[in-house]
Amino acid sequence: MIDIQYLSKRYTVDTLPFSALDDVSLSIRAGESVAIMGRSGAGKTTLMNIIGCLDTFDAGSYQLDGVNVAALSDEKLAHLRNEKIGFVMQDFALLPHKSVLFNVMLPMYFDQTPRREMVSKAKTVLEKLGMSAQEKKRVNQLSGGQKQRVALARALVKSPALLLADEPTGALDSQTGKEIMQLLLERNREGVTLIIVTHDEQVAAYCQRTIVISDGKIVQDGRQ
Ligand code: ADP
């Protein structure tokens, strides 16, 4: 599903060139669950943003399901992202003053899904994540764990093939974090490819494969 070859991402810091990612090659098959680990500043977010088609790169290649991502226009890239990828972030990135249902329906507004279909799809995914009773509440009335369930529902509502999660349990207590991990792993068992950036060894232990990044390079890549 993901084929990255000799990928580099460079910044200029104080007039000196600096590689946030340096010659990274990586392939991930459909259906895998992968944890990306490494110290702060190692390049994890940069890699995740490139995999998520949110950021560009300077050298190398990236194919997502056989599509050469670098060759796409911004519009085509946005379409690909919207169709294939669900994002779950540590800070949830929800609209706090809007209802749970509205937040989950949001990704479908961009492709003019009929309202009735939006509502029905959002309700279905909220039910799956145990959030039906909360659907009319505003997001700022929810607990952290509930917010992350809503964020997960929003990420899943368009049935993405790839789920990218950046520290999805980072803001949660350990029990709630475990519950969120179980929900992510259930989706993975249903066939969704799962990539999680995490500092947490316990979170990584749930994944089939752990990739460790240091100074912009992959220094470890192992399957359990
Ligand atoms: P991680 O997610 O592992 O903490 P990042 O991918 O966020 O690491 O960052 C990797 C490196 O690239 C860091 O040294 C960071 O300071 C640098 N970096 C990230 N974004 C920029 C930017 N826009 N300009 C300059 N340097 C950046």
pLDDT digits over 167-196, tens only?
988 888 889 889 889 989 999 999 999 999
What pLDDT is stored for residue 25 in this prediction?
Answer: 97
pLDDT band, very low/low/confident/very high, at 82 (cuts 50, 70, 90):
confident
Of 2-11, 19-28, 132-141, 177-186, minimum mean pLDDT range? 177-186
Given a cut of 90, whether residue 53 has pLDDT beyond it is yes
pLDDT digits (tens, 9 = 90+) for 107-121: 898 888 899 999 999
What ligand 1 atom has the least distance to the C-alpha of 13?
Answer: 25
Select from 197, 209, 192, 196 the least CA-distant residue to 1.
192
Distance of alpha carbon 181 from alpha carbon 149, whole angstroms: 11
Mean local confidence (pLDDT), 54-65:
95
Q: Ligand 1 mean position to 30 CA, how many Å? A: 28
Q: Which of 9, 14, 21, 45 to mutate to test the pocket of ligand 1 (most atoms within 8 A of CB)?
A: 45
Q: Ligand 1 mean position to 8 CA, how many Å? A: 13
Q: Which of 7, 8, 10, 11 to mutate to test the pocket of ligand 1 (most atoms within 8 A of CB)?
A: 11
81, 193 contact by CB (below 8 A): no
Mean local confidence (pLDDT), 92-113:
91
Select from 70, 53, 49, 54 the least CA-distant residue to 5.
70
- Residue having the nearest C-alpha atom to atom 18 of ligand 1: 20
What pLDDT is stored for residue 31 in this prediction?
Answer: 97
Taking the model in full, what pTM does it have?
Answer: 0.92
102, 139 contact by CB (below 8 A): no
Distance of alpha carbon 113 from alpha carbon 30, whole angstroms: 27
